Structure 1
């Protein structure tokens, strides 16, 4: 047999896409010449295309051993390693190929891809640029350059690179998909939708429906998002992220039993997924299923968003056992509102015989000094003194085995401390005195959804017999300019103790879902909480106009459809007219 002729015959079949015929030619060559490095390398390429990464790596490695100064088998070996998940070894192989043949753009492109996967995006940029310098007509080089820029949080520049790849090869789905991802990273979800659909039209894949669904969900188009998640799951039943986001979407659509079932099924696939357990916790607690809900809520400490706040105090955590005679540090976590809502559980710990040291953020320190059962209140930077055990504040319901039926809800459980700002002038005002808050803390991811604008309160301002006062603090407090005649109390609010004094001087508080709602409720002051749709305030549950957390004082006003604040304020105006008339 003419080995060279058979090898060329195989290459021709390979170019024509007749891979079976090509493989038979390469095998014939290797039977005649087992050390033929060309055939070994080309068989490695075919094996990797067929998904046999182990065989592909073995064949390429044999070629490398026979001819260690040839770049091509290093590329083949790297491709097989990367496909098998051994990305570090792949990067090393591609780097060797680049060193051996610095004029081969494919090796630079593949090296950049591996470096991107390793998170070494700055290095990947350099390698992708090298490929473009060698041959700027390669769409793969521009696409990889775009991926590198996207990894460096430069989505606008990344889009330019992806667009060059599209220009060079309009029928290639990958850069279209990457443009969509870069647009979504900039919250340009409307633009991303069309690009994702273009990519799906060129080549379908579960991840494309998943990303399309994510953008639809971000735009509040939940029914369409649900449909796309389900398509992704039809194509890839084990797609855990799609299960997770479908479960979250069903929760936002208020289909809680379906959400729970979806998330529980996903946990069967990925029992150690913190995201799944966290979202299941929210769905359970929204249904009032406390026993399972608070247990699942403990998974928060494995969530990437919570890991920076996990702390080791050098003492064991209280596990719910006998605590009599022990000093327990109840540690702070999450937002001001959560701390005010959950501090009600601290007296239950003291009732079991514990001496309680209560940690909180500085803005709550004076207020929490009024909480029953607390030996001392501390903030970061203080001397905490000795303690035997510690427990995160929002783990108390789980450790205490609290149920919704025995929720400690006697009001008030906080009081206005001594030596705070005086609001006697506010209390002396005639008429129904109403405090307003239109925005939560800017650090919350869902703040724009749960907040409204100060101008949304305008329909209330002409209700006869009402006087309005702003309790809004923070960067959005300047929206008070949109509410003529309202009195701004923000300059007098140094901390939550001062805010408590201001609330005590009022008759009613109206607020979006913020810490002020919980403060008013904890003080026993009538309060109206304005909830967006969907609402991430899972403990307000669904279908309720009041709340077991603040019985007799709190009423919930919910958007009937997403974004519909006018209907909420129309109902609120009618209530104010009645209250002021009385």
Structure 2
């Protein structure tokens, strides 16, 4: 979502007390001299610490330089000093949004819209804040009104398209992005997100063509390149896809660590120390830690920095590396690499190159859970249905537990829940809850997935949504049936029942958007074939 800046001219306001020093600082910033502008503003604030204009400009400079915490602090003080200044409140809201404080950003932009109820730009910024906060219906309302007030504004149309994309209204999103491009043909964001609409509609070739155009027209646009990477990987163009996937390292706010050692280029280590760090979600760490054995073969010392709770499980890798907890002290290393850069850096792009199981369950835990879940002649099926609710596409990949009903109806099948945290409360709402063995809250209490791995070793099958549990089953070599949305995440490709990532995994895909009933009818039919 691209914010639309409100300037003093947009609001019809002038800052009282705007002296020549502040005007000079603004001119320096406009001329591309932020250091001089910041120095002058600091001198002003030294003598006038509550000067609203100086605080405002200092906050704008801090936000532009990525110092978001400081930007929020400065702009909050500026807004307190000038509670009637819509442009200050607007920039305060933009800084809050950039810092990930979405509810507060919405509140700030509501203040702006309250001051300027007929301003399409104020409504557009409020709509963009609502999108980030997950308030899609409200976002659509504000952005539709902004579009009605300013029908030819490319940024408003772009944000309207984003809201419609979030709502799953592909035709409306396509129309909004197309209108934005009619107004501003070089709009990189509109091109990129129109390609996302094409992907959602199953038009992958059209998406790739448009993203290649966006990439050629905007070679420095990391978001366009990263989206090109995702489409290439979806299509199975691994080598080119992984090369472009490196663009994520240039996207502000991406779930990626930025460490001091020099980036590794994949060359022989020759005794150097390499620090590989996990990125994004736990499922990504489980899926891609398979590449560490190839990094360890490059002739140096390798350490793997992971989420504290995941470290015990990933320590079962049969690789000569150190597994470090992210919350502890990190030793010095010579070079670093994000985990999901390894396929590119190691020149091992083919997903099918490492399909053998590579993680292990603790034998003692396996034995303890065998006592809890003794064999009784039934097929033991472990189930999981809910991913992390904070993930933007979670509503698509997570599955209402009620859809698992056809499995619970099968005599000769014992279901075991591996759901922990969000989503677990759904079990008590099912009329067939008594047919499901559900471990208590101590499940995995001393480490992520440690008990889950042991339970899977005692199960005949795992049936799961697209979440970390699927990768755990695959990495352990447990037979796994994965229920997928009509247009799933890039790693599962476009079609087929098998995946190059895991030899023991079978994919069950929706035939149309939202068709979980069809998926579970197919799973139940296959499971029924195994019954005596």
TM-score range, shorter-chain basis?
0.7 to 0.9
The worse-fitting range, judged by mean Cα deviation, of 236-245 and 318-327 is 318-327
Q: CA deviation at 1:219?
A: 0.3
Say whether residues 1:224 and 2:172 are aligned partners.
Answer: yes
Say whether residues 1:528 and 2:473 are aligned partners.
Answer: no
Say whether residues 1:283 and 2:228 are aligned partners.
Answer: no
Say whether residues 1:542 and 2:473 are aligned partners.
Answer: no
The worse-fitting range, judged by mean Cα deviation, of 482-491 and 233-242 is 482-491
**In structure 2, distance between residues paired with 1:195 and 1:382:** 45
Partner of 1:505: 458
Structure ranking higher on relative contact order (CA contacts 8 Å, 6+ apart): 2
Report the RMSD for the aligned CA atoms in angstroms.
3.8
Q: Choose 1 or 2 for highest CA Rg.
A: 1
Specify whether residues 178 and 396 from structure 1 end up closer, same or farther in structure 2 by C-alpha distance, changes over 3 A only: closer
Given the alignment, which residue of 308, 311, 318 partners 1:365?
311
Q: CA deviation at 1:273?
A: 1.9
On the 8 A contact 1:369/1:417 being kept in 2, the answer is no
Cα-to-partner distance string for 1:320-347 (whole Å, 9 max, x where unaligned):
2234666544333332211221122223
Given the alignment, which residue of 70, 81, 90 partners 1:147?
90
Q: CA deviation at 1:416?
A: 2.1
**In structure 2, distance between residues paired with 1:337 and 1:71:** 53
Partner of 1:554: 505
**In structure 2, distance between residues paired with 1:545 and 1:191:** 39
On the 8 A contact 1:329/1:359 being kept in 2, the answer is yes
The alignment partner of 2:365 has SS state of coil
Partner of 2:100: none
The alignment partner of 1:377 has SS state of strand
On the 8 A contact 1:192/1:215 being kept in 2, the answer is yes
Aligned residues: 482
On the 8 A contact 1:415/1:523 being kept in 2, the answer is yes
Partner of 1:255: 203
The alignment partner of 1:445 has SS state of coil
Say whether residues 1:122 and 2:76 are aligned partners.
Answer: yes
Partner of 2:12: none
The alignment partner of 1:419 has SS state of helix
Say whether residues 1:243 and 2:243 are aligned partners.
Answer: no
**In structure 2, distance between residues paired with 1:287 and 1:550:** 18
Q: CA deviation at 1:371?
A: 2.3
On the 8 A contact 1:351/1:373 being kept in 2, the answer is no
Given the alignment, which residue of 279, 287, 305 partners 1:333?
279
Q: CA deviation at 1:389?
A: 4.9
**In structure 1, distance between residues paired with 2:22 and 2:337:** 53
**In structure 1, distance between residues paired with 2:331 and 2:88:** 55
**In structure 1, distance between residues paired with 2:453 and 2:181:** 50
Partner of 1:515: 468
**In structure 2, distance between residues paired with 1:462 and 1:349:** 47
Structure 1 spans left out of the alignment, 5+ residues? 1-48, 50-68, 97-107, 133-140
Specify whether residues 279 and 427 from structure 1 end up closer, same or farther in structure 2 by C-alpha distance, changes over 3 A only: farther
Specify whether residues 503 and 371 from structure 1 end up closer, same or farther in structure 2 by C-alpha distance, changes over 3 A only: same
**In structure 2, distance between residues paired with 1:487 and 1:464:** 15
Structure 2 spans left out of the alignment, 5+ residues? 1-8, 10-15, 45-51, 62-70, 97-103
TM-score normalised over the length of structure 1:
0.72
Say whether residues 1:570 and 2:521 are aligned partners.
Answer: yes
Q: CA deviation at 1:214?
A: 0.8
Cα-to-partner distance string for 1:31-59 (whole Å, 9 max, x where unaligned):
xxxxxxxxxxxxxxxxxx9xxxxxxxxxx
TM-score normalised over the length of structure 2:
0.78
Specify whether residues 418 and 73 from structure 1 end up closer, same or farther in structure 2 by C-alpha distance, changes over 3 A only: closer
Partner of 2:437: 487
Say whether residues 1:419 and 2:364 are aligned partners.
Answer: yes
